Structure 1
Amino acid sequence: MTDRSRADRQTPRAANHPLRVLVVSHGHPSFSLGGAEIASYNLHKGLNRIDGVGSRYLARVGHPVARHGATALLSLRQKQGEILYHADEYDHFLLSNRNTEEIERDFLRVVRDLRPDVVHFHHFIGLGLECLYAVRQALPETLIIVTFHEFLSICHHHGQMVKTGGAKLCNRASPADCNACFPDISPARFLRREHFVRGLLDVADHFVSPSRFLVERYVDWGLDASRFTVIENGLDIAEPAPPRPLPAGGRRCRFAYFGQITSFKGVDVLLDAVGRIPEAVWGEDAQLMIFGGNLERQPKPFQEKIEALIERAGPRVRFYGAYQNSEMPRLMRSIDWTIIPSIWWENSPIVIQESFFHGRPLISSNIGGMAEKITDGVDGLHFRVGSSEDLVDRMVEALTDETLWERLRARITRPIDYEECARRHLDLYNAVAAERAATRATAAVPSAAARSA
């Protein structure tokens, strides 16, 4: 794993044209407002703010967005330089696009027309790993960069590395272990999946991860550590929200959860904890504010569990529904603490960066990318993953220690913005291009023995 410096400014382009980058995303923020979509779009915007760099953005869309006739390429009045590519024939097991004909015809039409110096894949869900191979075949000299956002290449269970049938964390994938989670899929088929996925990933020149934890998992799976660089995703926020005004004698007692309401996100753990805090500690001023949706799409038993926990928590909890990313500065004005109770490893939840940008300490599970980015007792608090009892202790600490919030807030490091993120990526592109050029130059020089012969 490498951390690239700015010392080497060699660029992967000819001297007579700007660096051309094509950022490829599995979704467009206009249709799918996930962390990976926001990260890829912010990179695209940031690259276009750098002199001598031009970025285009290709995003996959699918149902319910209707395609246009016989082509997978769409025009839905997106901004200049943004392209939509319709793809629905996706094999979730192999991360594969069955419609290779449209990749060859429509996806490569864009690639060949733009002739980018760098194609940066910010995921391949819905698009298929075949897109990497298609770019390599069509433009052999183009750099291919892949950013990982979770463990989907390793884990068939939604890329979460959590065992099926419960909440037990998975520490290392193998065909036998994966078969234990999915008995109807043989170990031999999982082995074929691993070879297929890893073989197509090997087409890429370099990998990016927002966390070191995720890199370690992929290296353990078999990818080369020297082909990874850690670059945090950049934020596009103008100004931090000021601290919530407190009434005379008030305390920092407003907690918030931001995100989807799914079994992996640990909302049940959080609701259980809130219901257990003694009334004398909770008081009449404390509040848990939940900003998120999609509960109606979850399995019925999980919905019923959440509804029962909400009923027990009573007025301590208020649901505000789904939100847009642009609303975050306003929402942050009304809270003091952000809680991330996920029961899976996470990688780099954007809410961590957003909370730190706005000066809000976090309380999080003590695993994965959460534990890497939030330092216990420095800029936030950890609790044992899945333990509502331990979360109760941390929340009680937050409610009763009058100086804790200010101490943690004072030690928060503001995350990078999207322009700095783009500059770090540009340094990476230059460094990878220089390494490839040096390797080829070395291979082209005949050895002394060969010359004398």
Structure 2
Amino acid sequence: MSTKPSDVSRSKPEDMRVLVISHGHPDLSLGGAEVASYNLHKGLNELEGVRSFFMARVGSPYPRHSASALMGHQGADDEILYFADDYDHFLLSNRNTDDIRRDLQRFLRTLRPDVVHFHHFIGLGLETLFAVRETLPEAAIIVTFHEFLSLCHHHGQMVKTGGTKLCNAASPIACHGCFPDISPGDFLRRERFVQSMLQIADHYISPSRFLAERYIRWGLPGNRMKVIENGLNISSEAEPRRLSSEEDRRGRFAFFGQLTPYKGADVLLDAIGRVPETAWGDDARLMIFGGNLERQPEWFQKKIGESIEKAGDRVRFYGSYQNSEMPRLMRSADWVVIPSVWWENSPIVIQEAFFHRRPLISSNIGGMAEKIRDGVDGMHFRVGSAEDLADRMTEALTEPDLWERLRAGIRRPSTHVECAEAHLELYRGLVEGTSALDDDGTQAMKQTA
């Protein structure tokens, strides 16, 4: 895609123009935030009166095509890539301000969007918010949060370094405890810089109430926060796994996700070995669909390898998968397990499982506990406890009617078009100056599903 003015001219003079900005394109970087932002872009373009454009950050080893940071993507006239790899992970800052001034701001002046919606700024840098405001003083700027990166230097996980102890609040002193080489003064400088840049935005969106509340307590204004769940773009539901006889059980458990220490695959593998043989039998199975284990710390790779070997025939490891494969993979599963040891926000696998009407077994914290209703459409277990997870899996294997009862309680998740409609309502209110903002911050507690 070229970025000449002719390529971004308005399809209709009255159409609202929206630029959705993401830290990655799902064709190149498959993650929940990338998929959510792209689904929003696609959903907006299915609505009347709005035209959406999608900008995704890329960096090394993806090749920069020329002197410009801007690049096309597969010939799409509404998608563009922005190359940025000079990034300060501590300050969430882009050191290459020359590219921002020369290329990003030129693109913004050409496109002239009414709304610029950041679905992430990692890799792009917080300076891009300032660049948008400087270039387009009348445009509405929205930021969607996907984790606690603005609060937490530890990969935005809000988990203490050196283990899996959960962190309940960020502060310069507490953060210095996790990173002794970084002074409390430096953490205070980080906090003030990040908050000041985020204040540039007109509104914030969180896919979960839990995450919204954390950011409000940290210092963002509650009257500029709204909860809108991400939408799914899936065409057909995977039918239930076919049972060969009336005696067959719903005993197939599936894990979908990255094999990182925070996703809890090690807890799940430990739990598998704790389920009694009388409950497990010969027909139960755990299927692990996950990748990137080779990128994890050596100690974790060794732990997972040993756990899989110890679990023996109870576990099948299938490696990484593409999002397009999910319906086919879900057909082989009865239960989906989310054993994450960090808070999570709104992992897409929850919505995918619910779309395909698979009950979930999850840790009892954060966005997981908010999205999955214990005893209604899934089961909770105490976070990090292999023993408690084993008990829930035993229940799943030994209570004949449990799967059907929990499946009946599942609510249909929002589609990408329904999600786009909720966003468009907010956009119009901001652009027209009619968005109602509550002084007490209760706007953040109003969830759009």
Letter in 1 for 2:65: H
Give the equivalent residue in structure 2 for 1:388.
386
* Structure 2: distance between partners of 1:408 and 1:241: 17
> Of residues 96, 99, 110 in structure 2, which corresponds to 1:99?
96
Q: What CA deviation, in whole Å up to 9, does each residue of 1:354-412 have, x standing for no partner?
A: 00000000000000000000000000000000000000100000000000000000010
Q: How does 1:218-257 map to 2 (within 5 A)?
A: 218-248=215-245, 249-257=247-255
Q: What CA deviation, in whole Å up to 9, does each residue of 1:221-252 have, x standing for no partner?
A: 01111111111100011111111011211000
- The TM-score with structure 2 as length reference comes to 0.93
For the aligned residue pairs, the C-alpha RMSD in angstroms reads 1.4
Letter in 1 for 2:124: L
Give the equivalent residue in structure 2 for 1:183.
180
* Structure 2: distance between partners of 1:438 and 1:113: 31
User: How many Å apart are 1:76 and its aligned residue?
Assistant: 3.9
Give the equivalent residue in structure 2 for 1:19.
16
| 2:73 and 2:79 in contact (8 A); partners too | no
Q: What CA deviation, in whole Å up to 9, does each residue of 1:407-431 have, x standing for no partner?
A: 0000100101000000000001112
Letter in 2 for 1:260: Q
The alignment status of 1:45 with 2:38, answered yes or no, reads no
Give the equivalent residue in structure 2 for 1:261.
259
% same residue: 69
* Structure 2: distance between partners of 1:40 and 1:312: 39
The alignment status of 1:345 with 2:343, answered yes or no, reads yes
Give the equivalent residue in structure 2 for 1:296.
294
User: How many Å apart are 1:138 and its aligned residue?
Assistant: 0.7
* Structure 1: distance between partners of 2:434 and 2:214: 25
Moved more, 374-383 or 429-438: 429-438
Which secondary structure state, in structure 2, belongs to the residue aligned with residue 257 of structure 1? strand
Q: How does 1:396-415 map to 2 (within 5 A)?
A: 396-415=394-413
* Structure 1: distance between partners of 2:105 and 2:44: 22
* Structure 1: distance between partners of 2:226 and 2:145: 11
Letter in 1 for 2:335: W
Letter in 2 for 1:345: W
Which secondary structure state, in structure 2, belongs to the residue aligned with residue 177 of structure 1? helix
Which secondary structure state, in structure 1, belongs to the residue aligned with residue 35 of structure 2? helix
Q: What CA deviation, in whole Å up to 9, does each residue of 1:268-322 have, x standing for no partner?
A: 0000000111111101100000000111111111111111111111110001110
Give the equivalent residue in structure 1 for 2:442.
none
* Structure 2: distance between partners of 1:402 and 1:434: 55
Moved more, 119-128 or 424-433: 424-433
Give the equivalent residue in structure 2 for 1:154.
151
C-alpha change, 1:397 and 1:438, in structure 2 (3 Å) is: closer
Letter in 1 for 2:93: S
* Structure 2: distance between partners of 1:277 and 1:43: 41
Give the equivalent residue in structure 1 for 2:306.
308
User: How many Å apart are 1:16 and its aligned residue?
Assistant: 4.4
Give the equivalent residue in structure 1 for 2:283.
285
> Of residues 111, 119, 136 in structure 1, which corresponds to 2:116?
119
Which secondary structure state, in structure 1, belongs to the residue aligned with residue 303 of structure 2? helix
Give the equivalent residue in structure 1 for 2:105.
108
- Stretches of structure 1 that go unaligned for 5 or more consecutive residues are 1-12, 440-453
- Stretches of structure 2 that go unaligned for 5 or more consecutive residues are 1-9, 438-449
* Structure 1: distance between partners of 2:164 and 2:210: 20
Give the equivalent residue in structure 1 for 2:5.
none
* Structure 2: distance between partners of 1:364 and 1:438: 36
* Structure 2: distance between partners of 1:180 and 1:324: 39
